Amino acid sequence: MRRRVPLTLCFIAGLFMAVQYFIPHHNVAAAYERLLLWLQTLLAFAFLLGTVSLVRVHYHKVRDRAPDRGFSIVMFVGLFLMLGLGFFHPSHHAPNSPFNRMFLSVQVPIEATMFSLLAFYVASAAFRAFRARTLEATLLLVAAAIVMLGRVPVGDMISGKIPEATRWILEVPNLAAKRGIMIGVGLGMMATALKIMLGIERAWMGGSD
Amino acid sequence: MGLVAGVVSVAALFVCPVAAIAQEEVEAAFADSLPPLGPPTAVTATDTPNDRGNSINVTWELSDGDEAGMVTSYRVYRSAHPETGFVFAGRAWAGNAEYRDGAAPENEPTYYRVSATDAAGAESFSATSDPAVALPQWFNHERINVMIAAIIFVVAIVFFVAAARRGKDLFIRRLPGLDEVDNAVGRATEMGKPILYISGLSTVSDVATIAAINILGEVAKKTAEYNTRLIVPCADPIVMAVEQEVVKEAYAKVGRPESYNEDDVFYLTRSQFAYVAGVNGIMVRQRPATILYMGMFYAESLVLAETGSSVGSIQIAGTDAVTQLPFFITSCDYTLIGEELYAASAYLSREPVLLGGLKGQDTLKMLIAVGIIIATVVATLVAVGAIPYDFVTPLFITH
């Protein structure tokens, strides 16, 4: 019974989602849109779960005097400061409110910094990938060199054939590989959905027993 | 040279307004000499096929002034009566001969008129169309090919699952990345270091995330057997709740429920790069022996994988995000590409019914490959003129 109820609900919901794809009638479309709204509502409640988990984990670290508890203290300061500014400051919606300032002047730049680190990681990954130790790595190196040259004016200045080769690499072997992967992914998605609907795949609820 | 250009520019400032006034006069005189704008003709209204209702397609033949550039737009009017009560329904720009009225009343005869409108706002009305009734449809005929493919797919999967249940031996090719999971868990145990499992940034409604959760269940069984710590930072609270349950059940299943620590499967943040910062911090501080990336990843994939590489972890990735695959292939020791992610749970568990599902998937893939080969041959024959295009169109192109 403990497993039958979620399996039945999963089957009914999955079947409805599959069938509605073929039925454009507004009654069915309205039911589909309502289900999506339920998902939004569920997500709002789930954030409470997430916050509880976050607080509990870091509280335990501080309580147990874990070596990295300093980060947990910083997390608590940030969490309660933003909560306080958001809930109790009278004009937290105003552009110059402390809440907005904290968000725009602290979180946004920090996130931008993390994102910008990507450039350095691309360089280090490229350095490793382009070491021509194997045939595949050599092919990758040659293809990447052609594509990079073909995308900048200097490539065309060296030879008009470089942009053409770039286009061919991107539109023929690259696109064919991408489409092959996408077909496999599509079938894999359908198979996974079907296996879950039919109760064949039960790992998502802890296993088959 | 510069002085001459400057003088010309200054002169142009004075000359242009004069020229503009003259041009307006010429255009006004030209407009007076033009014949009146002809109306659009042959207005037809039909129910929009395969729709949810409340929609009618209106088509017409362009006004004779359209080609001469006299028409600015076509205004479409609807009414429940052929003679009176027409209200504005929408507009199509010049050169367009169709409009979809998405606010038509349902199950009621509706009449349409279309006017060609010129720059001055003068309208030239068409005759009233025959009535059309907006009806919702119960089946989208444009998706019949999808339905046929889906039915074949379901039949193939059910057939192979039934075969697996009867005890038929099913061959599955080796996936080195998944074979390595056992070694990776063993290595973590020997080193006394944890395993970090990252199930992507997507939500539980993403099939890739569900596949990642399925794999987590199998990985958790192995870590429970070896009594190795498994850390699972989550970017979505619903995914966290499901993963907590999956890991807890896995530990209970191998008889070690006491080893499960709820604090090891925790919520971090929904914010993409805050999540990256948090996970990178865990990597640098905990130095996990093994890191598994399974699920949907975005721009954070390389930052995560390169940090994992820098701390010396064995890294196994699996994603269906085509754009992130090159980054994982570059930075990780093993990468599951696309569909291998969905096969991983069956591969790790070796449950016959799950392997049957994989075989069904392969069967449809083979059919698609045969279809692509046939279509390629036919397209080539059409291109060289061996088969007439009109013969092929109804077979391969649906509208």
Interface of A with B in 62-101 (CB under 8 A): 68, 71
Q: Which residues pair with B76 in a beta bridge?
A: B90, B114
The correct answer on CATH 3.40.50 for the domain covering B174-350 is yes
DSSP 8-class letter at B51:
S
Helix (H, G, I), strand (E, B) or coil at B252: helix
Per-domain residue ranges for chain B? 41-133, 174-350
Complex prediction ipTM: 0.89
Strands (E), A136-189: none
Of B112, B114, B7, the residue nearest B55 (C-alpha)? B112
- Rounded to two decimals, the pTM is 0.82
> Torsion angle, CA of A27/A31/A33/A39, rounded to 10 degrees?
180
Q: Which residues pair with B74 in a beta bridge?
A: B92, B116
Per-domain residue ranges for chain A? 1-88, 130-209
The one-letter code for the residue type at B40 is P
Q: Please list, residue by residue across B6-35, b when 16 or more beta carbons sit within 10 angstroms of its beta carbon and e when fewer do.
A: eeeeeeeeeeeeeeeeeeeeeeeeeeeeee
How many CB atoms sit inside 10 A of residue B177's CB? Answer: 23
pLDDT tens for chain B, 399 residues long, are: 444 444 444 444 444 444 444 555 545 554 555 567 899 999 999 999 999 999 999 999 999 999 989 999 999 999 999 999 999 999 999 999 999 999 999 999 999 999 999 999 999 999 999 999 999 999 999 999 889 989 999 999 889 888 888 888 888 888 888 888 888 999 999 999 999 999 999 998 899 999 999 999 999 999 999 999 999 999 999 999 999 999 999 999 999 999 999 999 999 999 999 999 999 999 999 999 999 999 999 999 999 999 999 999 999 999 999 999 989 998 999 999 999 999 988 888 888 888 888 888 888 889 989 998 998 898 899 889 888 877 776 666 554
Contact B267, A53 (CB under 8 A): yes
Of B96, B90, B101, the residue nearest B71 (C-alpha)? B96
Q: What is the rounded distance in angstroms from the CA atom of residue A48 to the CA atom of residue A153?
A: 53
Q: Do B214 and A56 touch (CB under 8 A)?
A: no
CB-based contact, A189 to chain B, within 8 Å: yes
What is the least distance, in Å, from the CA of A157 to any CA of chain B? Answer: 29
Q: What is the rounded distance in angstroms from the CA atom of residue B150 to the CA atom of residue B147?
A: 5
Helix axes A161-169, A135-150, angle to 10 degrees: 120
Of A193, A10, A46, the residue nearest B239 (C-alpha)? A46
For the domain spanning B41-133, the CATH number is: 2.60.40.10
The one-letter code for the residue type at B245 is E
Among chain A residues, CA nearest to B265: A53
**Contacts of B227 by beta carbon, 8 Å cutoff, 6+ apart:** B189, B256, B259
Sign of CA dihedral B122, B128, B133, B137: negative
Tokens standing for residue B290 = 């093994």
* Residue of A15, A21, A26 to mutate, testing the B interface (most B Cβ within 10 Å of its Cβ): A26
Q: Which residues of A touch B267 (CB under 8 A)?
A: 49-51, 53-54
